[in-house]
Amino acid sequence: MTAASRTRPRVAIVGAGPAGAFAAASLLRACGDVEIDLLERLPTPWGLLRGGVAPDHQEIKRLEDTFDRQTLKRGCRFLGNVEVGADISHAELMSHYGAVIYATGAQTDKSLGIPGEDLPGSWAATEFVAWYNGHPDFRDLEFDLSARRAVVIGNGNVAADVTRMLTLSAAELARTDVADHALQALRESSIEEVVVLGRRGPAQAAFTSAELRELGHLDGVDLRVDAADVELDGVSQQWLAQEGTFTARTNVELLREFGARPRRADAERRIVLRFLRSPRLIGGDGRVESIDVRRNEIVRADDGMLRARPVDDEDRETIDCGLVLRSVGYRAVPLPDVPFDERSFVLPNARGRVLGSDREPLPGVYAVGWIKRGPTGILGTNKRDAEETVTCFAEDLAAGKLAQPANADREQIDALLAERKPDIVTVAGWRAIARHELEAGRRERRPRVKLTSRAELLDVARRAAPVPAAAHS
Ligand SMILES: Cc1cc2nc3c(=O)[nH]c(=O)nc-3n(C[C@H](O)[C@H](O)[C@H](O)COP(=O)(O)OP(=O)(O)OC[C@H]3O[C@@H](n4cnc5c(N)ncnc54)[C@H](O)[C@@H]3O)c2cc1C
Ligand SMILES: NC(=O)c1ccc[n+]([C@@H]2O[C@H](COP(=O)([O-])OP(=O)(O)OC[C@H]3O[C@@H](n4cnc5c(N)ncnc54)[C@H](OP(=O)(O)O)[C@@H]3O)[C@@H](O)[C@H]2O)c1
């Protein structure tokens, strides 16, 4: 037996989002006697469950109760307001824990690379989402919602989310936990029409069917799809018949149904779904005034994938608009001193074991969630993914492959963090924040009223739960 297998293993999970939470729960199930610290750069846990999932989807947010029950209530420590790579290094973590599991997600957006992308009024959907969900780093953004038309680029579920947020009525928004600053701005919004652009066709849209269906059933919103736009081209027809997924078939049926609907002239707002259109440039004098799009056709590429190809380079349509939300995917950022695959934007890994430059596993370093496999997949996808990583960890532990860290005692990491981060947020601090938000929510008949500034969050956490050095649990 090695030293590591004789003592209770101590594991740091970096990032307390869904993947980190599923990994912690899975570790407790698989290994039982393991000490887990969840290190999180925000003062609050649960990553995109709090800061991504749309405020009008409160039923999904209940997953936080499960995370709480399966992790924090089972002894995992929450060490919030600690950014790994800034407040503590990878090497320091490795010297305090037997294993480090990275669960840092995808913290930025994928860019389009077209002219005008950076004009004021052109935003990444990642920014808009973080703003309306009260992420402290995005609360001061100012979205100009004074134009009549907005354009959303992309056909994924995030595009569906931001489209709904722009078209929900003020009364509907007021029943959610949308951040107060966003509630106020959206209440005063002049946007009447949201045009959603898919670069490929209806059969290739990345919406899940429930999210697409929902767009067609919003109160006071007319969903428009041109019937001709949902006529499938030959390549897509063949693909749908022979290889099409259940979701793709359902989406096409839904879109045909929407295309056949009569227009609702009385609706206050409109969503217009357009397909086979790619943005060429975002135009405007000092700020967004329009977007130029080109028409595509679907072709089967050499690798067998169905791709969008421009029909005619001269083909151009200009859509006037005052706001563009680019919803073409999230992207992970590298962590200092941790290997990073610059082409796939993930930690290079084999089933969750992070690989070094020699493509061999780095002992004791693992990845889970979006930083492991890229920014796709719903919440549940991270559960299976976490189980895979935890299986590797358990195998390595049993095989004696995890080194005993130089500073193995919990008091040592607590002393280091107490010195570096006197305003660390513990489980008690997070519970104080949650209590504060839920009580404010009860007063306003809302699920919660979020605290959105770091200073407020830290203040509530500190007042309710002063942190004596070396006593973080
Ligand atoms: C806008 C949006 C809405 C979504 N809605 C749904 C939905 O309704 N239903 C559904 O099933 N799925 C939904 N998803 C997908 C789901 O949110 C993801 O599958 C899931 O959040 C990925 O989990 P993760 O833990 O890998 O990443 P994240 O949720 O991003 O968590 C990563 C965590 O790591 C922290 N972190 C990052 N860097 C550091 C660092 N250096 N040090 C310490 N901490 C760090 C971050 O602050 C964050 O808390 C949505 C996704 C998005 C983008
Ligand atoms: N309610 C929910 O369950 C929910 C809500 C939000 C998010 N999520 C999940 O979170 C994950 C991330 O969602 P997402 O919407 O960010 O990503 P996504 O599902 O990957 O969708 C990205 C969209 O952007 C398009 N796109 C990419 N590059 C483009 C370009 N250069 N020009 C034009 N369009 C481009 C893609 O088109 P192509 O297909 O042609 O590449 C696709 O339509 C997904 O798995 C999603 O299901 C789930």
Per-residue model confidence as pLDDT tens digits over 390-434: 999 999 999 999 999 999 999 999 999 999 999 999 999 999 999
Question: Same structural domain for residues 249 and 190?
Answer: yes
Residues 333, 342: Cα–Cα separation, whole Å: 9
Residue 75: other Cβ atoms inside 10 A: 13
- Residue-wise over 357-385: b if at least 16 C-beta within 10 A, else e? eeeebbbbbbbbbbbbbbbeeebebbeeb
Question: Same structural domain for residues 188 and 275?
Answer: yes
Residue 5 has pLDDT above 90, yes or no: no
The gap from C-alpha 212 to its chain's centroid, in whole angstroms, comes to: 19
Query: Residues 369-380: what's their mean pLDDT?
Result: 97
Question: Same structural domain for residues 307 and 200?
Answer: yes
The answer to whether residue 45 is domain-embedded is: yes
Question: Same structural domain for residues 246 and 371?
Answer: no
The answer to whether residue 471 is domain-embedded is: no
Residues 40, 47: Cα–Cα separation, whole Å: 9
Taking Cα atoms as reference points, which of 318, 314, 376, 313 lies closest to residue 346?
376
The answer to whether residue 388 is domain-embedded is: yes
Cβ–ligand 1 distance for 42 under 6 Å, the answer yes
Percent of the chain with pLDDT over 70: 97
The answer to whether residue 133 is domain-embedded is: yes
Residue where a domain stops, chosen among 308, 330, 352: 330
- Residue-wise over 44-65: b if at least 16 C-beta within 10 A, else e? bbbbbbbbbbbbbeeeebebbe
Cα 464 to ligand 2 centre (Å): 40
Where residue 233 falls among pLDDT bands split at 50, 70, 90?
very high
CATH number of domain containing 45: 3.40.50.720
Question: Same structural domain for residues 456 and 353?
Answer: yes
Domain of 340, in residue numbers: 3-107+332-464
What is the model's pLDDT at position 4? 42
Cβ–ligand 2 distance for 374 under 6 Å, the answer no
Contact 397, 363 (CB under 8 A): no
Question: Same structural domain for residues 241 and 217?
Answer: yes
Residue where a domain stops, chosen among 330, 347, 363: 330
First to last CA, the chain: 30
Cβ–ligand 1 distance for 100 under 6 Å, the answer no
User: Which 8-state DSSP code applies to residue 403?
Assistant: P
The answer to whether residue 68 is domain-embedded is: yes
Residue 456: other Cβ atoms inside 10 A: 15
Which conformational region is residue 445 in: left (phi greater than 0), alpha (psi within -120 to 50 degrees), or beta? left
Pick from 236, 295, 328, 344 the residue to mutate for probing ligand 2's pocket: most ligand atoms within 8 Å of its CB.
Answer: 328
Considering its fold, how many domains does the chain have in total?
Answer: 2
Lowest mean pLDDT among 84-88, 264-268, 458-462: 264-268
Contacts by residues 434-441 (CB-CB < 8 Å, ≥ 24 positions apart): 435/464, 436/460, 436/464, 441/177
Ligand nearest to the CA of 327: 2
Lowest mean pLDDT among 20-34, 439-453, 455-469: 455-469
CATH number of domain containing 219: 3.50.50.60
Q: Which atom of ligand 1 is nearest to the CA of 50?
A: 29
Cβ–ligand 2 distance for 105 under 6 Å, the answer no
The answer to whether residue 473 is domain-embedded is: no
Residue 1 has pLDDT above 90, yes or no: no
Residue 268 has pLDDT above 90, yes or no: yes
The answer to whether residue 41 is domain-embedded is: yes
Q: What is the pTM of this model?
A: 0.96
Cβ–ligand 2 distance for 275 under 6 Å, the answer no
Nearest CA, atom 2, ligand 2: 157
Average pLDDT, the chain: 95
What is the model's pLDDT at position 33? 87
Nearest CA, atom 21, ligand 1: 48
Question: Same structural domain for residues 54 and 41?
Answer: yes
Question: Same structural domain for residues 339 and 288?
Answer: no
Question: Same structural domain for residues 415 and 430?
Answer: yes
The answer to whether residue 472 is domain-embedded is: no
Residues 56, 447: Cα–Cα separation, whole Å: 10
Question: Same structural domain for residues 280 and 183?
Answer: yes
Question: Same structural domain for residues 51 and 167?
Answer: no
Question: Same structural domain for residues 247 and 282?
Answer: yes
Contacts by residues 139-142 (CB-CB < 8 Å, ≥ 24 positions apart): 139/179, 139/181, 139/452, 139/453
Cα 328 to ligand 2 centre (Å): 6
Where residue 265 falls among pLDDT bands split at 50, 70, 90?
confident
What is the model's pLDDT at position 467? 56
Residue where a domain stops, chosen among 283, 300, 330: 330
128-152, pLDDT tens digit by residue?
A: 999 999 999 999 999 999 999 999 9
